[in-house]
Amino acid sequence: MPRACCQPKGLARISASCRREYALEEEHSELSNVERRVRALETVMTQKGYIDPAALDVLIDTYQTKVGPRNGARVVARAWVDPAFRERLLRDATAAIAELGYSGRQGEHMIAVANAPGRHNVVVCTLCSCYPWPVLGLPPVWYKSAPYRSRVVRDPRGVLAEFGVTLPASTEIRVWDSTAEVRYLVIPERPTGTEGLSEDALAALVTRDSMIGTGLARAVGET
């Protein structure tokens, strides 16, 4: 079973300098007119003291990594404990996800891909930033950035290593390209030693990045 590296150097690089680089490049080359106006408004409001950038960052991070991905985590946990649901999820992800009450814009056409021993899936949108909002919430900045979108296709193993994920050389890495027509949800491998956990406890082990493929599900006791 693949393992996650202990975070330090690789993950620090991707989460700090690389992600700032990704965001900077995106700001200058990938923003739409609406996004530029929003960014300009945010700058003016910050300069006038109407908003606190740090508080705004915390709010965005909450929706990116906690509130939104909880839906997807519940989908994954159900797939881990219910073989029939897992089969339906892999056959028709849109319908199976809707069984749990999650549907809507950006989630109309879903495909679930499952990690397994010897196979790891990772998702990207090479054209823009297509992302399954109903199950993962807001897309992280790095997912929308040009460097991630180009590099993960050319060098998925290297990019995963920067996120702290080290896979055996024999592991096949499949890169899935989201489009306006279809979006993907990765079902990470269930961590070992979780046989006695409840569905809610299992959902707590599922991270946003593990459902994109740039991370693994947490081990028991890992925070």
Q: Is residue 222 one of the residues assigned to a domain? A: no
Rounded CA separation 80/152 (Å): 27
* pLDDT(23) > 50: no
Catalytic residue of the set 6, 128, 150, 198: 128
- pLDDT of 172: 98
Domain membership of residue 17 (yes or no) is: yes
The pLDDT assigned to 192 comes to 96
Q: pLDDT tier at 222 (50, 70, 90 boundaries)?
A: confident
129 is catalytic: yes
In a domain, 36, yes or no: yes
Catalytic residue list contains 18 = no
Q: Find the mean pLDDT for residues 176-187.
A: 94
Choose, from 5, 15, 103, 129, the residue flagged as catalytic: 129
- 219 within a domain of the structure (yes/no): no
pLDDT at position 35 is 61
Residue 189 resides in a domain: yes
CATH, residue 71:
3.90.330.10
223 found inside a domain: no
**Active site includes 130?**
yes
Indicate the number of domains in the chain: 1
Note the pLDDT of residue 31: 54
Whether 128 is a known active-site residue: answer yes
Task: Let me know if residue 221 belongs to a domain.
Answer: no
Burial class from Cβ neighbours inside 10 Å (0-12, 13-18, 19+) for residue 22 reads buried
Asked whether 100 and 73 are in contact (CB, 8 A), the reply is no
* Position 45, amino acid: M
- Asked, for residue 30, whether it belongs to a domain, the answer is yes
Q: Mind listing the pLDDT tens digit for each residue in 54-113? A: 887 776 676 666 667 999 999 999 999 999 999 999 999 999 999 999 876 766 789 999
Enclosing domain of residue 173: 3-212
Least confident range from 38-47, 144-153, 214-223: namely 38-47
User: What number is the average pLDDT over the span 186-208?
Assistant: 97
